[in-house]
Amino acid sequence: MLKSLSIRNVALIESADLEFSEGLNVLSGETGAGKSVILECIDFVLGAKADKGMIRYGASECLVRAEFTFRDPAIFELLREMDLDGEDTLVITRKLTTEGKGSLKLNGCPLTATMLRRITSLLVDVHGQSEHFYLLKESNQLRLLDTIAGEPVAGAKRELSALLAERRDILAELDLLGGDAGERDRRLDILRFQIDELTRAHLKEGEEEKLLVSREKFRNAEKIKDGLSETREYLLSDGGCADCLRGAAHALRSLSKFSECYLSLAERLENVSAEIEDVGDETERELDSLGMDEREAERVEERLDELKALKKKYGGSIQAAMEFLQRAEDERELLENGAERYEKLSNQLTAVEDKLYAACVRLTEERKRAAEGFSERVTKELSTLNIASADFRIEFGEYTREDVGKATSEGLGGVKFLFSANKGEPLKELRNIISGGEMSRFMLAVKAQMSDVAGLGTYIFDEIDAGIGGKTSKVVGEKFCKIAKNTQIIAVSHLARIASFADSNFLIEKTETAGRTLTHILLLDGEGKKREIARLIGGDTGEISMRHAEELLQEAEDYKKSL
C-alpha cells in the first residue's frame, strides 16, 4: 500500500505531505483546486514520463517521495533480481530539474525508469487518464483470470512447466546430436577436417614462445655476434679484464706479509677473476655456436605462420585451439554413435509434445470454466454501476497441435477481454473502445469480484464519478468499502455519497498568498469531513446540507459495520 506521499514544488503545490490509511482514501475539492496534480505526482513517482512543465513556477526542481509497504513475494523476487534492497518497505524518490535532468532512487539506490515501472506495476493499479491501465495489457488480463481461477489453473500451469522443461532438455540433446542423418554427416565431415588439421599440427604448450625467441635471434644474428665478440675481447684478450684482475691479485698477495687484510683482498680479486674467466669462456662458446642456418630460420617462420593461422581459426590462442580439439573429438564420438540415440530422442520428443499439447488444452478448459462465471458476474456488477447494457466476455485464442513449439509456461492461445457499453454494439477489445469513466467502473466491477483474492496493494481511481450520481454513487461507495477491506483505495471524487464512505478524507483547495496561488492538501477530521460532504451535497455548509451530511455519514458507518 501507499503509506505516504511527499510533494515539493509541483504545479501549485509548494510543499505537501500526505499520510494515507489502509482502507478507502477520498480526495475532493473544488474544480481546478489541484486534485489531478496529486495523481500526476503519483504517476510521476511510479515511473511515468517526466515533464519539466510540472515544476512550480520560480523553482529550480521538483521532488516527489513515496513510501510503500508490501508483502507480495513477486516483489521480493524482482528486487533480488535487480540487486536492490527492500525488506517490506520501498521508498521511491524522484527529482526533476528545469534543465530536464532527473534522478530516481529506491531505498537510496539509483535505478532506471524501466526498472522502476517493473516494480511499481506490482504495487499500484491506476484507473483513469493514465498509462498505468493494468487491464488494457493482455498479459495482465491473463494473469487476472488465472488469479480468479485459482488452484485448478495453478496446478495445470505447474504440469505445463514440468513438460516444457523436459522438452527443453530433449531439444538440447538433439541439438548436440546435430539434427537428422544428413545434418550429422555434414557436421561429422567438418569435425573430421578440423580434428585432422589440429592433430597434424602437434600443438604443444610453450612452443610458440620458444619459436619467437629463436626468430629474434635469427633476425639479430649479426648484432648478437658483434656484441659477443666485443665482450670476449674485453674479458679475455691480452691486457683485458681477466689479466688486469689477476695482476692486481698478485700485487696484493705480495703484500700479505704486512697484513692479513691484503691477503683477503687478493683472494677476493682471484675469485672475481675466476668468475670473469668463466663468463668469458661461456661468451666464447655462445659465439662459436652461433650460426646462420637459413633452413632453420625458414622453418621457424613457417611454423609461426602455421600457428598464427590455427589461432585465428580456433579461438585466438594455442591453448584455445587445444581445447577446441578436445571438444571436437568428444562431439565426433557422440555423433558417430548418435543415430540410435537420435531416433530414441525424436520419439521421446513427439510423446512429450503430445502431452504438452494436452496440458495446454486442459489449461485452456480450466480458464474457460473460470471465465464463464467471472464474465457473467462482472456484467451484473456493471449494470449496478449505471452501465446497464454492458456486455463483457473473454475470448480465447485458437491453436492446434502444430503450435506446440510456441507454448510457454502460460500455455497457448492467450486471452482478450471484450467489452461493449451499449446494447446492439458489437464486442470489441477493451483497450480500443472503453472510456476513462467506463474503465474506472469496469475495474471497480472486476475488483468487487476479487475482494477476497490477493492482488496489488493499492488501487487508484480517477474519474470514477463520470456519468453517475444518486443511487449509482451509493453502489460505487459500497463497492469501494468491500474492496478496501483487503486493498487500499485512493479515489478522486466529487460525490458526497462516495466521500461519506471514506476512512480518510483529503481536501484539496487553492489559496492566494503574497500574490501567489498555492494548493494545499488537508487531512480532514470528523467535523471537517462533515463540512466537506455538506459542500459536495449543495455547495454550502448550511443547516440542511449539514444535516444531510450527517445522515450520509451514518448510513456509510452502518454499512461498513455490516460487512
Domain holding 503: CATH number?
3.40.50.300
pLDDT higher at 48 or 216: 48
**Chain centroid, CA 31 distance in Å:** 40
- State percent of the chain over pLDDT 70: 93
Q: Quote the pLDDT of residue 222.
A: 74
**Is residue 274, in this structure, part of any structural domain at all?**
no
Region of poorest pLDDT, from 55-69, 223-237, 452-466, 504-518:
452-466
pLDDT tier, 132 (very low <50, low <70, confident <90, very high otherwise): very low
Q: What is the mean pLDDT of the chain?
A: 86
Q: What residue numbers bound the domain in which 507 lies?
A: 2-123+456-562
Q: Which strand ranges, in their side-by-side order, compose the sheet holding 13-19?
A: 13-19, 2-10, 61-69, 89-97, 102-106, 109-110
Please state, in angstroms and as integers, the Cα–Cα distance from residue 61 to each residue in 39, 100, 263, following that order. 19, 9, 89
**Is residue 359, in this structure, part of any structural domain at all?**
no
Q: Quote the pLDDT of residue 129.
A: 46
What total of structural domains would you count in the chain?
1
Rounded Cα gap, residues 156 and 166, in angstroms: 16
**Is residue 524, in this structure, part of any structural domain at all?**
yes
Rounded Cα gap, residues 160 and 154, in angstroms: 10
Over the stretch 256-310, which tens digit does the pLDDT of each residue have? 888 888 888 888 888 888 888 888 888 888 777 776 667 877 888 888 888 889 9
Buried b (16+ CB within 10 A) or exposed e, 52-63: eebbbeeeebbb
pLDDT tier, 466 (very low <50, low <70, confident <90, very high otherwise): low
pLDDT tier, 70 (very low <50, low <70, confident <90, very high otherwise): confident
**Is residue 43, in this structure, part of any structural domain at all?**
yes
**Is residue 175, in this structure, part of any structural domain at all?**
no
pLDDT mean over 479-492: 89
Over the stretch 382-431, which tens digit does the pLDDT of each residue have? 888 878 788 899 999 999 999 999 999 999 999 999 988 888 888 888 87
pLDDT at 504 exceeding the cut of 90: yes
**Is residue 103, in this structure, part of any structural domain at all?**
yes
As to burial, measured by CB atoms within 10 angstroms (0-12 exposed, 13-18 middle, 19+ buried), residue 204 is: exposed
Residue 234: other Cβ atoms inside 10 A: 14
Region of poorest pLDDT, from 8-17, 235-244, 531-540, 546-555:
235-244
**Is residue 387, in this structure, part of any structural domain at all?**
no
Region of poorest pLDDT, from 195-209, 265-279, 365-379, 448-462:
448-462
pLDDT at 157 exceeding the cut of 80: yes
Rounded Cα gap, residues 357 and 288, in angstroms: 82
pLDDT at 131 exceeding the cut of 60: no
- For residue 54 the three cell numbers come to 510540472
Q: What is the pTM of this model?
A: 0.62
Q: For residue 182, what is the enclosing H or E element?
A: helix 181-201
**Is residue 67, in this structure, part of any structural domain at all?**
yes
